[in-house]
Amino acid sequence: MTQGSGPLHTEVFWSPRHANVLKPVICAVNGVCAGAGLHFVADADIVLASPAGSFMDTHVNVGMVGGVENTALAYRLPLGSVLRMTLMGKDYRMPATRAYELGLVDEVIEQDQLMKSAQEMAAVIAANSPAAVQRSKQAIWQSREVGYAHAAEYGWALVRMHWGHPDFREGPLAFREKRPPNWAST
């Protein structure tokens, strides 16, 4: 942390997305997810939860501002839902089923199958071209930060950039030869 003439400034990477991690992130929630833990949910690529999962924010209960995780949640949830969670603090828990209905959770999975499902999804993703997966993720997340025209232009630039990657040739070749692809390292 550094402190200059202005307010306290900190360069902390709260989640993989803030740290510019391009590898896919699957978040599995199997209990109460609160406070800073909401960052992993808000910035995950895929969010799974068991019926026992719930989401809450207690910043205001301890005299803190819910300004980081909550801002990220506003990209995944309706504004009123984020405000309810933020302003009511410990007195409101959003159940996993409601989080699913609102789009915060991608799938509700029985508790005994949650980690198995997350690992299976990870294995499916890992079988794809690492470079194509990372560039696809980059294009999609970037589209949330800018207008549509700029996002489309950026996505198209990533597509063209990928044309020079060995996986761009290996994927169709493996398909034609009916064999698993041998992806290049990223």
Q: What is the pLDDT of residues 4-54, one digit of tens each?
A: 444 554 555 666 666 667 789 999 999 999 988 898 899 899 999 999 999
Report pLDDT for 141. 84
Same domain, 95 and 158: no
Domain membership of residue 6 (yes or no) is no
Residues 83-133 pLDDT 10s: 999 999 999 999 999 999 999 999 999 999 999 999 999 999 999 999 999
CA distance 154 to 127: 25
Domain membership of residue 45 (yes or no) is yes
Report pLDDT for 39. 86
What letter does residue 56 receive in the DSSP assignment? E
Q: Which long-range contacts (CB under 8 A, 24 or more apart) does 11-15 make?
A: 14/39, 14/68, 14/69, 15/39, 15/40, 15/42, 15/43, 15/72
Same domain, 31 and 119: yes
Report pLDDT for 5. 46
- CATH label of the domain that carries residue 88: 3.90.226.10
Same domain, 35 and 117: yes
Same domain, 37 and 89: yes
Domain membership of residue 89 (yes or no) is yes
Domain membership of residue 146 (yes or no) is yes
What letter does residue 63 receive in the DSSP assignment? T
Same domain, 134 and 148: yes
Report pLDDT for 140. 87
Same domain, 110 and 132: no
Among 103, 125, 147, the domain-final residue is 125
For the chain, the domain total comes to 2
Among 85, 110, 125, the domain-final residue is 125
Residues 6 or more apart whose Cβ sits within 8 Å of residue 108: 48, 49, 50, 51, 53, 96, 97, 100
Same domain, 104 and 144: no
The domain in which residue 156 lies consists of 128-176
Residues 131-181 pLDDT 10s: 999 999 988 888 888 888 888 888 888 888 889 999 999 999 999 999 999
